[in-house]
Chain A
Amino acid sequence: AIWMTQSPSLLSASTGDRVTISCRMSQGISSYLAWYQQKPGKAPELLIYAASTLQSGVPSRFSGSGSGTDFTLTISCLQSEDFATYYCQQYYSFPPTFGQGTKVEIK
């Protein structure tokens, strides 16, 4: 099984900040990584797949990078609607697995 380490688990930031979230794999997964956003009481939404490809309709302030074992989700200018929990998901090996999540809260 592939172990995933997502960090930090909690991130305090202000509107307008640039924030980065890390997702590290126990073994290489090429670029088979997705990112999701989940707001309280709501279903997750797909933001990014193939490590860096934005899903249709996702604002360009979101970006993803990395390959192999280290990946990053960046929000370039945090907006009020971005305060949420973010999950990475690997789809290189079966079963698909998710990181533990990063909660982005208002500072």
Chain B
Amino acid sequence: EVQLVESGGGLVQPGGSLRLSCAASGFTFSSYWMSWVRQAPGKGLEWVANIKQDGSEKYYVDSVKGRFTISRDNAKNSLYLQMNSLRAEDTAVYYCARVTIFGVGIVFDLWGRGTLVTVSS
């Protein structure tokens, strides 16, 4: 079955760290760009970060630059998001998403069910 399964969310204090994981199965993980997209409670969707197939290119939304690091392990079919210096506004469900490039940009054609990150004291 083609799927993405996130893990690693939880409650963390402001300033703390958390590492999210995403396990991919049912498709050739190493052939795709991958992304993290988040959704704050009751809010819309926000793209967070992208990583190229071989990990050589990474891109981030401005609000997480310098604090979050996206990475992948193609041998393990896994995607990661290391989140440091967490803030209350980082509270969200974090989705792992497979990227397909159409023309000049990207769409997200496969999503995991998400993992909740709560930043609170």
- Which residues of chain A have a CB within 8 Å of any CB of chain B? 30, 32, 34, 36, 42-46, 49-50, 55, 87, 89-101
Cross-chain contact B105 with A92 (CB below 8 angstroms): yes
The minimal Cβ–Cβ distance linking A56 to chain B, given in whole angstroms, is 9
Cross-chain contact A98 with B95 (CB below 8 angstroms): no
Between A and B, 28 residue pairs with Cβ closer than 8 Å are: A30-B103, A32-B102, A34-B107, A36-B45, A36-B108, A42-B113, A43-B113, A43-B114, A44-B95, A44-B108, A49-B100, A49-B102, A55-B109, A89-B108, A91-B102, A91-B103, A91-B105, A92-B104, A94-B59, A95-B47, A95-B59, A96-B105, A96-B106, A96-B107, A97-B47, A98-B44, A98-B45, A98-B47
Give the secondary structure class of B's interface. Answer: strand
**Cα-based distance from A104 to B68 in the complex (angstroms):** 34
**Cα-based distance from A95 to B106 in the complex (angstroms):** 9
Q: A32-B102, A93-B105 are in contact. List 20 more A-B contacts (CB 8 A).
A: A30-B103, A32-B103, A32-B105, A49-B100, A49-B102, A49-B107, A49-B109, A55-B109, A87-B45, A89-B107, A91-B102, A91-B103, A91-B107, A92-B105, A95-B61, A96-B47, A96-B105, A96-B106, A98-B44, A98-B45
Cβ proximity bits B98-121 to A, threshold 8 Å, 1 near / 0 not: 001011111111111110000000
Cross-chain contact A45 with B111 (CB below 8 angstroms): yes
**Contact-residue size bin, chain B (C-beta under 8 Å from the other chain):** 20 to 34
Given contacts A87-B45, A95-B61, A96-B47, contact A43 B95 (CB under 8 A): yes
The minimal Cβ–Cβ distance linking A28 to chain B, given in whole angstroms, is 13
CB of B89 closer than 8 Å to a CB of A: no
The minimal Cβ–Cβ distance linking A9 to chain B, given in whole angstroms, is 10
Give the secondary structure class of A's interface. Answer: loop
Cβ proximity bits B4-42 to A, threshold 8 Å, 1 near / 0 not: 000000000000000000000000000000000000000
